[in-house]
Amino acid sequence: MSDDQDWNLSDDVNQVASPNGADSPATGGAESPPKTNLSDLSIEDLQSSVAAVKDEVGKRIIGQQDVIERLLVCVLCDGNALLESNPGLGKTTLVRALTEATDLQFSRVQNTPDLMPSDITGTEIIRESSEGREFVFERGPIFANVVLADEINRATPKTQAALLEAMQEKQVTAAGETYSLPKPFFVLATQNPIDQGGTYPLPEAQTDRFLMKILVDYPELDEERTIVKQYAEGGSVPEIERVLPRTHLLAAQRLVQRVPIADDIRDRTIELVRQTREDDAIEFGASPRASMSLVLAAKARAFIHGRSHVSWEDVAEMAAPVIRHRIILDFRAEREGLTPDDVVERLLE
């Protein structure tokens, strides 16, 4: 990245160690890449490792390249992702493959209407010992690097609020105590399309906490044929190699924030978001958080593609997934069959 020669990975080495995640066990995969010391890495090495994550996940996920890239953008931005799709499209497989390639701890929460906040955060239990009884906090599944919150819109608002605190504050409160979560920490939530019954729509305050809303569509015909051959006809499931250790990922997150962006591109990005507050088809526009998220997502995409600065293409590619869940169309636009993506595409023109 010659455009920013002051970048120095050694500045980030002391920032990535964390007692909350330093002893996280490996989740599988092959041996570490040859360079395991951050001081031996260049920025280009980190960019190559991040791009390799996309390739490794692609071994097990047939197609869905845009979905993989957007999910990786969220990880690099230290942001949360909301994946919307029908069942059976490989969301759990996708997230598991991502954690194997990055050596992160994974947990899955199946949300149901009777799920309680303590089922996610943990609870105090009484433990017998030689010294008598004592209260011990038993941690819940939220204490992982990557938490797949499956069907989040089937959880009650009270349980959703517990997830919201974890997403925003990177900590949880249980039994009057506050506990920090491991680093890095991401919630990758899935939800059913809103027209399905038995769901609790996420409030605007919670959807705004997601960096992106990623739509997972059905595979193409050739892709579905490959999926059937690989998983239903005795084909071997590809092994995932660990190509980005946790400490390297934390350093990459810090570098992404420092990817240069030209003033005119930043201004165009802000103006794009501001137009959502003025468009006649939109009842409620996106907040300044959308502007910050879009700039950061564009930086992450540039980093993944090995570039030294943000281009307008990066902004345009990230606009729909960053903005679509942050705007509410008015009734006339909905009556005409418009979607948030349609409006964002028009604003980009």
String of DSSP letters for 305-334: TT-SS--HHHHHHHHHHHHTTT-EE-HHHH
- Cβ–Cβ under 8 Å, residues 176 and 69: no
pTM of the model: 0.84
- pLDDT band, residue 321 (cuts 50/70/90): very high
pLDDT of residue 315: 98
Cis bond before residue 184 (omega within 30° of 0): yes
Angle of CA points 16, 18, 20, to nearest 5°: 145
pLDDT of residue 310: 97
| Higher per-residue pLDDT: 102 or 20 | 102
260-349: CATH number: 1.10.8.80
Task: Report d(CA 96, CA 100) in Å as an integer.
Answer: 6
Q: What is the mean pLDDT of residues 8-16?
A: 48
Signed CA dihedral, 11, 184, 297, 88: sign only: positive
Task: Report d(CA 24, CA 26) in Å as an integer.
Answer: 7
Strands (E), 92-181: 106-110, 122-129, 132-139, 146-150, 171-174, 177-180
Q: For 227-234, which contacts have Cβ atoms below 8 Å and span 24 or more sequence positions? A: 227/62, 230/62
- The encoded tokens of residue 148 equal 């797949």
Signed CA dihedral, 108, 114, 115, 119: sign only: negative
- Cβ–Cβ under 8 Å, residues 241 and 29: yes
Q: Dihedral, CA atoms, 329, 333, 335, 341, nearest 10 degrees? A: -70
pLDDT tens per residue, range 170-188: 998 877 888 999 999 999 9
pLDDT of residue 123: 86
pLDDT of residue 201: 77
Domain 38-220+252-258 sits in CATH 3.30.1440.10: no
Residue 334 CB partners (closer than 8 Å, separation 6+): none
pLDDT tens per residue, range 93-121: 898 999 999 989 999 999 999 999 999 99
- pLDDT band, residue 198 (cuts 50/70/90): low
38-220+252-258 with 260-349: one CATH topology? no
Q: What is the longest distance spanned by two Cα atoms in the chain?
A: 71
Question: Is 300's pLDDT higher than 60?
Answer: yes
Q: Can you give the residue ranges of every domain in the chain?
A: 38-220+252-258, 260-349
Question: Is 25's pLDDT higher than 70?
Answer: no
> From the CB of residue 209, how many other CB atoms can be counted at a distance below 10 Å?
16
Residue 280, exposed/middle/buried by CB under 10 A (0-12, 13-18, 19+)?
exposed
Name the DSSP class of 152. G
One-letter amino acid of 14: N
pLDDT of residue 268: 97
- Cβ–Cβ under 8 Å, residues 163 and 172: no
